[in-house]
Amino acid sequence: MAGSADEPVSSSGSTPAVVLVEPQLAENIGMVARAMLNCGLDDLRLVRPRADWPNEKAVAAASGADRVLEQARLYPSTAAATADLNLLFATTARSRAMTKWTLTPRAAASEIRRATAAGIGVGLLFGKEARGLGNDDVALSQAIIAIPLNPTFSSLNLAMAVLIVGYEWRMAANAVEAAAVATATVPGAVLQLPKETAPATAEQLQGLFEQLESELDRCGFLRIAEKRPIMVRNLRNLFGRAGLSAQEVRTLRGIISCLVAGPRRPRGGGGGA
């Protein structure tokens, strides 16, 4: 018994994690757990749920999927909940004023399968019932999953959205292909990294963002307070969309450090503007 209680059923990377950001109703969390287990998913992560946790109403709504609820982990932020993951999908019905790869659940499912087969940790982000994901969470994600429903009545129950994405993930089981070898930055190829290259974790990306923004604050690029949030978001979106490898993140951080140090701190020869 000892030592196994805290271990998740599936190790990170084998199945996608479902990340609920600020879910409002415990019943919905329970229904999500049920829908997840229907699809064979069990890695549930909760970011600041409004209801007390653990919660009896969630257990009742889970209709037997207690295991998923018992293993669910709580986090103070989306960044913390996704720190060990490499590839985040933001599920949304509303269109966003962001340049973002947008996939149907079906197209996303085969990408997710390819990713997890290659050891890439995948997170599926779902926002609160009333309003969906905030733009900051969307910006953290590498791509959007848009569920193509009735445009005149697209208000989808939270657990229903989880079910559709999970169902497509399950249906894609036979469509897994061997991990691809080429890198590419076109839609549909988001997960194709050279075999020897580890994709960045969300935590590594976060480190890059924080370094970048702190430097941009310092140099005055972000000095207009009203505009700062949207500028930060757009930058994160831009880099998040790129599907960076861990090595590329290190390279970018080195570039930022170097640019900051810049001409003020001569380091001998070498090029540079």
Binding site for a second copy (CB under 8 A): 31, 34-35, 37-40, 63-65, 106, 148-150, 153-157, 159-160, 163-164, 167, 170-171
User: Scanning the structure block, which residue is given the tokens 């960045």?
Assistant: 200
Q: Cβ–Cβ contacts within 10 Å for residue 165, how many?
A: 26
Q: Which is nearer to a second copy, 83 or 149 (CB)?
A: 149
* Beta carbon of residue 39, minimum distance to a second copy (angstroms, whole number): 6
Terminal C-alpha separation, the chain: 61
Q: Rounded to the nearest whole angstrom, what is the least distance from the CB of residue 28 to a second copy in the complex? A: 12
| Residue (39 or 85) nearer to a second copy, CB | 39
The DSSP output letter for 21 is E
Question: Minimal distance in Å, beta carbon 137 to a second copy?
Answer: 23
- Do the Cβ atoms of 156 and 127 come closer than 8 Å? no
* Residue 172 vs 212, nearer CB to a second copy: 172
CB 42 within 8 A of CB 147: no
User: What gap in Å lies between CA 69 and CA 53, rounded to an integer?
Assistant: 10
Of 154 and 247, which has the nearer Cβ to a second copy?
154
Least Cβ distance, residue 67 to a second copy (angstroms): 9
* Residue corresponding to tokens 């590594």: 204
Is the Cβ of residue 28 or residue 204 nearer to a second copy in the bound state? 28
Give me the least distance between CB of 153 and a second copy, in Å please. 4
Shortest distance, position 208 Cβ to a second copy, whole Å: 37
Cβ closer to a second copy: 79 or 112?
112
Residue 15 phi, psi dihedral angles, 5° rounding: -130, 155
- Least distance in angstroms from the C-beta of 72 to a second copy: 16
Handedness of CA 240, 241, 245, 249 (dihedral sign): negative
Sheet-wide strand order for 143-146: 73-75, 44-47, 17-21, 122-126, 87-92, 143-146, 101-103
- For a second copy, the closer CB: 77 or 154: 154
By C-alpha distance, which of 10, 15, 28 is closest to 162?
A: 28
Which residue from 131, 148, 8 is spatially nearest to 71, judged by alpha carbons?
A: 8
**Distance (Å, rounded) from C-alpha 145 to C-alpha 156?**
14
